[in-house]
């Protein structure tokens, strides 16, 4: 009953096999000059139906920070939701690597909307003394497990572009969003106006593999220097490329995500029927949110369930916890089983 996070899961067997196979293969050129990395780059261009620059790194934090550094000058300002991982959970990495400031925007359940963004952009002071507004960073699925449909994304990107902002998308769980939306990776990114995607593989079934995917290949050189300077140019990069390649093969990334999403739906149904928990909202990816008391959470945790409490800062009035309740997050993964969810459902009823 591990619902703490999807990065608690191991890795998909095909990913592990690919790492073992490439490790046995013998020598290959270092620093990404190998044939596996070249193949992966071509595969990602095909997947996104667009020319791309691909830079592999080991963490989502690095992907986000370097993406921002590629898009913004050091005197730039980045707009992000106030609960965005990049704004509050990365120890200032984007500010450190990019030199930028992060301006935090409110938005219910972690989402920004085009109207709110336009209104905020109209009032943010600009000019020499304030820095240059440079990037809008969005997250999908976001910190509350909600996704931006292509239309919502396009509306936000249109506002950003009208203000000459580049758009970064934190896709630490991009597969879960695409699997849920049923759209193409292109529709979920550049077709809507996204310039750079942090494409997360780790939470979706890799060991540690994150790709910075820039839809303007001219960003490649800048990103390459940034990655080296940040210590993220892994010399045996083929080990990361092999993970990503195996994960994309036969659409494993999508089937793993669809499975995690389906497990989240089951979990949500169990929570909705529980006597001492309330489903906060229907999941749109692989994260489920529930209100319950700390005492009830402790009872579940004492029986072996793993999950964390969550910030209520971005909840609207209709989402408010009742007195004594807290918000809790449950994350499913490719490794979550129906039995695990059924065992938890039984525990919830107990």
Minimum distance between the CB of residue 304 and ligand PLP, rounded to whole angstroms?
23
Cα distances (angstroms) measured from residue 227 to each of 62, 69, 151, 224: 8, 10, 32, 5
Closer residue to ligand PLP in complex, CB, 281/308: 308
Q: To the nearest 10°, the Cα dihedral for 163, 105, 192, 178?
A: 170
Q: Where are the beta strands (DSSP E) in the chain?
A: 53-57, 76-81, 101-105, 132-139, 166-171, 196-200, 210-214, 278-281, 287-293, 308-309, 325-331
Minimum distance between the CB of residue 64 and ligand PLP, rounded to whole angstroms?
6
* Interacting residue ranges for ligand PLP, rule: CB under 6 A: 59-61, 64, 85, 139, 170, 172, 202
The two three-digit tokens of residue 134, written as one number: 């440079």
The residue whose Cβ lies closest to ligand PLP is: 60
Half-sphere exposure of 170 (CA within 13 A, CB side): 33
Which of 263, 290, 292 minimizes the C-alpha distance to 276? Answer: 292
Cα distances (angstroms) measured from residue 313 to each of 83, 234, 238, 310, 321: 8, 37, 41, 9, 11
Minimum distance between the CB of residue 140 and ligand PLP, rounded to whole angstroms?
9
Closer residue to ligand PLP in complex, CB, 108/293: 108
The two three-digit tokens of residue 285, written as one number: 């990816």
The rounded distance, in Å, linking the Cα atoms of 285 and 136 is: 22
Closer residue to ligand PLP in complex, CB, 86/274: 86
Minimum distance between the CB of residue 59 and ligand PLP, rounded to whole angstroms?
4
Minimum distance between the CB of residue 265 and ligand PLP, rounded to whole angstroms?
20
Closer residue to ligand PLP in complex, CB, 334/348: 334
Minimum distance between the CB of residue 180 and ligand PLP, rounded to whole angstroms?
15
Minimum distance between the CB of residue 347 and ligand PLP, rounded to whole angstroms?
25
The rounded distance, in Å, linking the Cα atoms of 30 and 19 is: 15
Other CB atoms within a 10 A radius of the CB of residue 157 amount to 26
Q: In this structure, what DSSP letter does residue 28 have?
A: -
Closer residue to ligand PLP in complex, CB, 198/237: 198
Between 174-181 and 252-272, two packed helices, what is the crossing angle to 10 degrees? Answer: 80
Closer residue to ligand PLP in complex, CB, 64/261: 64
């Amino acid at each position: 009953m591990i619902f703490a996070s999807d990065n608690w899961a191991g890795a998909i067997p095909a990913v592990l096999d690919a790492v073992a196979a490439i490790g046995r293969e013998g020598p290959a050129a270092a620093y990404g000059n190998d044939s596996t990395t070249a193949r992966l780059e071509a595969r990602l261009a095909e997947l996104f139906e667009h020319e791309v620059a691909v830079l592999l790194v080991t963490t989502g934090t690095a992907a986000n920070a370097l993406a921002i550094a590629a898009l913004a000058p050091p005197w730039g300002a980045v707009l992000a939701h106030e609960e965005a991982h990049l704004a509050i959970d990365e120890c200032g990495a984007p500010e450190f690597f990019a030199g930028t400031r992060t301006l935090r925007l409110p938005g219910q359940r972690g989402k920004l909307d085009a109207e709110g963004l336009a209104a905020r952009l109209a009032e943010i002071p600009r000019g020499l003394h304030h820095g240059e507004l440079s990037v809008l960073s969005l997250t999908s699925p976001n910190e509350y497990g909600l996704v931006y449909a292509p239309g919502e994304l396009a509306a936000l990107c249109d506002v950003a572009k009208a203000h000459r902002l580049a758009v970064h998308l934190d896709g630490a769980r991009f597969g879960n969003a695409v699997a849920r939306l049923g759209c193409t990776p292109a529709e979920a990114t550049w077709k809507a106006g996204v310039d750079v995607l942090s494409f997360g593989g780790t939470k979706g079934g890799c060991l540690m593999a994150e790709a910075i995917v820039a839809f303007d290949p001219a960003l490649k050189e800048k990103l390459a220097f940034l990655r080296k300077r940040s210590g993220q140019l892994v010399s045996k990069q083929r080990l990361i490329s092999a993970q990503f390649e195996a994960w994309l093969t036969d659409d494993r990334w999508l089937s793993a995500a669809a499975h995690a999403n389906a497990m989240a739906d089951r979990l949500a149904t169990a929570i909705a029927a529980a006597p001492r928990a309330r489903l906060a909202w229907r999941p749109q990816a692989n994260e489920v949110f529930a209100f319950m008391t700390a005492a009830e959470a402790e009872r579940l945790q004492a029986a072996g369930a793993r999950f964390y409490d969550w910030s209520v800062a971005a909840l609207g009035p209709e989402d408010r916890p009742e007195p004594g309740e807290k918000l809790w997050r449950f994350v499913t993964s490719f490794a979550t089983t129906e039995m695990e969810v059924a065992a938890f459902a039984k525990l919830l009823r107990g």
